[in-house]
Amino acid sequence: MTALPTRKLEAWRYTDLRALAAISFAEPAPVVVQVDLPDLGIPRIVFVNGAYEEALSTPPSFCAGFAAVAEASSFPLAKINAEHARDGVTLVVPEGLDAGAVLLVSYASAEMPIAFHPRHRITLGVGAKLTVVEVAMGQGVYWHNPVTDIAVHENATLAHYRLQDEGPESFHLATIRAKIAAGAAYESFSAVIGAKLSRAEFHATLMGPGGKTHLNAAQLLGGHQHGDFTSIVAHDAPSCASRQTVKSVLDGHARGVFQGRIEVARAAQKTDGYQMNQALLLSDTAEIDIKPELEIFADDVKCSHGATIGALDPEQVFYLRSRGIPEGQARAMLIRAFLNEALEPVTHEGARALFETAIENWWARK
């Protein structure tokens, strides 16, 4: 197996995988799902311990099975995924089709430590449209290491929403790679709530003029959780727009990481890049590490980034309480308001309700 990355690698400076490396993982065994899985009234594709579960799935017509591929990149986790991938979904939306929405659920149940490495592919033909809602959840000690390769062809639009609500003892390391053609859009939002340690690494490449992408996220972490949101947006073509609003709410001893790089190639004139990272620290022991990077080789570009770190404003809390709103509810309202901007790309009603509930539940169980 390819070795796990260590903190000696710049890209992994803030996320230490030694706790993961210390565990020996077994191959997953089949299990019976004993919990209610999310249901949005749309086609659903369910993976249990990394394997496609036909009995729980209602796949759409454009869904195909797994096919192994060689990993061309040198990214350690993608290489490990390629070495171990046993299953995954392939969605191919034909040219011009508005394919509606699909729910992709990963459920894990581990008696002893298990690892699974699904390889998903999503391809949208010219002018096609699709919304993919992903939910990852589970219990026990497990390592979920998915790689999702996405191609959005000319003038197509993919909305991709991820709810990472994995079990408290789990590890979630996801790699999402999106190639965005001319006039196409890749609109994403990730909610990072679960797992003991997680990282979502997005690589979005704007390959043709007029492409656009949102890579938004909300990280809600407490206890001793570690959540890393890393993104690399490559502007390879002119007149593309990338937007990123990442908000972190950190309590207890939680540690959040945001690394965001925007690369603007020489050809990518008229690039419009925006990146905002904001963290709300609810305790004195929570920590956020923020690393924005701009690498610009074109001369006619507009790129901005900003970062803020703060606490809840006691004036705002008092204002709400003075109107009769109990303190806990007042704080929850302000936190929800803080997350607003990050949630903007979530236009699908079912997905939005899913995130609202997940955010409420996070607060309630905190």
Partner 1 sequence: MLEIKNLSASIVDKEILKGVDLTVPDGEIHAIMGPNGAGKSTLSYVLSGREGYEVTGGAVTYNGRDLLAMEPEARAAAGVFLAFQYPVELPGVGNANFIRTALNAVRRTRGEAELDAVAFLKLARAAIKDLHMPDDMLKRNVNVGFSGGEKKRNEVLQMALLKPGLAILDETDSGLDIDALKIVADGVNAARSKNFSALVITHYQRLLDHIVPDRVHVLAAGRIVRSGGPELALELEAHGYAGLEAA
Q: Cβ of 320: how many Cβ atoms within 10 Å?
A: 17
Task: Confirm if 268 and 253 have CB atoms less than 8 A apart.
Answer: no
Of 292, 309, 325, 366, the one binding partner 1 by CB under 8 A:
325
Closest CB 363 distance from partner 1, rounded Å? 14
Side-chain-side CA neighbours of 27 within 13 Å: the count stands at 7
Give yes or no for residue 352 binding partner 1 (CB under 8 A): no
Cβ neighbours of 69 (radius 10 Å): 13
Only one of the segments 64-72, 74-82, 264-272, 338-346 lies at the binding site for partner 1 (rule: CB under 8 A); that segment is 338-346
In the region spanning residues 285 to 314, those forming contacts with partner 1, defined by CB under 8 A, are 314
Contacts of 9 (CB under 8 A, 6+ apart): none
| Least distance (Å) between residue 325 CB and partner 1 | 5
83 touches partner 1 (CB under 8 A)? no
Nearer CB in complex with partner 1: 126/333: 333
Q: How far apart are CA 233 and CA 351, in angstroms?
A: 24
Provide, rounded to whole angstroms, the least separation between the CB of residue 328 and partner 1: 10
Assess 253 for contact with partner 1 (CB under 8 A). no
Considering the complex, state which of residue 200 and residue 330 has its C-beta at the smaller distance from partner 1.
330
- Strands 44-48 and 51-52 come out as antiparallel
The one-letter amino acid code at 358 reads A
| Shorter beta-carbon distance to partner 1: residue 103 or 339 | 339
Applying CB under 8 A, which of residues 24, 34, 74, 322 lies at the interface with partner 1? 322
Among 75, 202, 229, 338, interactor with partner 1 by CB under 8 A: 338
From the list 190-198, 226-234, 276-284, 332-340, the region that binds partner 1 by CB under 8 A is 332-340
Token pair, residue 130, equals: 């699709």
Give whichever of 8 and 323 is closer to partner 1, judged by the CB atom.
Answer: 323
Regarding 364 and contact with partner 1 (CB under 8 A), the answer is no
Closest CB to partner 1 among residues 305, 336:
336
The closest alpha carbon to 150, from 126, 186, 106, belongs to: 186
Q: Which is nearer to partner 1, 299 or 315 (CB)?
A: 315
Least Å distance, CB 252 to partner 1, is 23
Instruction: Give yes or no for residue 329 binding partner 1 (CB under 8 A).
Output: yes
CB 4 within 8 A of CB 79: no
Q: Which of 6, 73, 304, 340 binds partner 1 (CB under 8 A)?
A: 340
Distance CA 24, CA 182 (A): 44
What's the closest the beta carbon of residue 332 comes to partner 1, in angstroms?
Answer: 10
Interface size with partner 1, residues (CB under 8 A) = 23
**Among 111, 293, 295, 341, interactor with partner 1 by CB under 8 A:** 341
Residue with smaller CB distance to partner 1, 34 or 322: 322
Residue from 95, 295, 327, 356 touching partner 1 (CB under 8 A): that is 327
Return the amino acid letter for 85: A
Rounded to a whole number of angstroms, the minimum distance from the CB of residue 309 to partner 1 is: 17
Given the rule CB under 8 A, which residues bind partner 1?
A: 314-316, 318-327, 329-330, 333-334, 336-341
